[in-house]
Amino acid sequence: MSVVIDGLRGEYGVEPACRVLGVAPSTYYAVKDRERNPSQRARRDAELTRRIERIHEENYGVYGARKVWWQLRREGVDVARCTVERLMKEAGLQGVVRGKKRRTTVGGEQAQRAPDLVDRDFSASAPNRLWVADFTYVAT
């Protein structure tokens, strides 16, 4: 929004542009102040993001947040793992996921379906009277 107001401020001024856009002028000025003087957290996040991107790239893009966090600790950078996760997400970085993707059964149109022996009534009169399961995705 501040970019739009910046484009209009030369012709109309800040306050009229803010009024038309429904933004308080103080909000606009606060955004501009943060652009000029970022907070300590924003400055640290920018530095950490550069380090995270370097580590991720040096390791062929396979490191996830946990391994990047461990590498930062080895380099002497004291940072929480959740911070690394947040910054990696914001930067669009993610590690490689190992293992096969589990796929549950996708029934075909011609597939023969097992009969419904309980008529969709899953209440049992006593324990061990009714057992229902669908474990088609578990190898047996």
- Higher model confidence: residue 37 or residue 113? 37
Average model confidence (pLDDT) for the chain? 89
Question: Could you tell me if 64 and 95 are in contact, meaning their C-beta atoms sit under 8 angstroms apart?
Answer: yes
- HSE (side-chain half, CA atoms, 13 Å) at 102: 6
Instruction: Please choose, from the candidates 120, 49, 134, 64, the residue with its C-alpha nearest in 3D space to the C-alpha of residue 95.
Output: 64
Q: Is the pLDDT of residue 74 over 90?
A: yes
Q: Measure the CA–CA gap between 36 and 38, rounded to whole angstroms.
A: 6
pLDDT at 55: 97
Query: pLDDT (tens digit, 9 = 90+) per residue, 98-120?
Result: 888 777 667 677 777 778 888 88
Domain ranges of the chain: 1-37, 39-97
The DSSP letter of residue 38 is -
pLDDT at 140: 59
> What is the CB neighbour count within 10 angstroms for residue 122?
8
